[in-house]
Structure 1
């Protein structure tokens, strides 16, 4: 009986050690979770994106830049086979997001055919910002408007950030994405 207790305790301790090691390997930028848009599923940022190049964009359904969803989807389709991930994070910080996640999902999935990962609406600025955006701000800058873009390398470091006016097919953004893709090799 004592042997079984000892083995159970050993398993618990080993599990804790593995969890600590995994957290230590996960870049600060990717430590945390977000609720996935139109889903019961949560996005474990580390599990989903660690070791992969990533573009993070704060989005809004009723912004003049909302048509950039089409270009973001094209960017994702162009580079996804090379490992690129795109994460859209809707935010009402600039008062241009839909009132419900259902309406946000309709704009993203129906109107623009988005297939990359989208979270539910989050705060991306100030003290209420989710940890992901606090770390993005620490490594680069806080979003000044909707559709700010952050290119992150496979090690979880921001390699470039771009303002809303930078389109997803901008040569500078594409060059940053290609640098991020090269970082996983």
Structure 2
């Protein structure tokens, strides 16, 4: 007869935050011109690896009943990591093989991601530490401007790049804080910006 045991699930949210920080911080130098198109293939490899912690974070958050956090990690993993890995690779090989691409279609992907994140940002403002909220607001700006860049508003490229820098910087703090908190150690991340 099997014993009735209760399985505890640990929150892998910090793993999602590190994937998010890496994804935003490889977008930042690319958008700001600190690296050239020869970085795309390496960016593809890194983005593909980011999919793993995103999805593990998503699964644990969903098992813990956190729909907002879990679903956000799922779509970030699917599009900000996995889809980006494919598009970075395509952008690397396109000039080599003379592929003609209409990248304006990617603006629609980023627009949907921006709209969803912007409209769900109040959840993070109410229930997440201040550091997470600042990061999400920066991601809102980065994603919205990225969509516009694909639609021809190239003057926003630095805004998008530096917004992703801010998002990733505060994501790093969330990673550290989450890992330390899981070990019972406190790390200052600030109280939620919206009060209940």
TM-score normalised per structure 1: 0.30
Task: Judging by fraction of residues, say which structure has more helix.
Answer: 2
TM-score normalised per structure 2: 0.29
Task: Judging by fraction of residues, say which structure has more strand.
Answer: 1
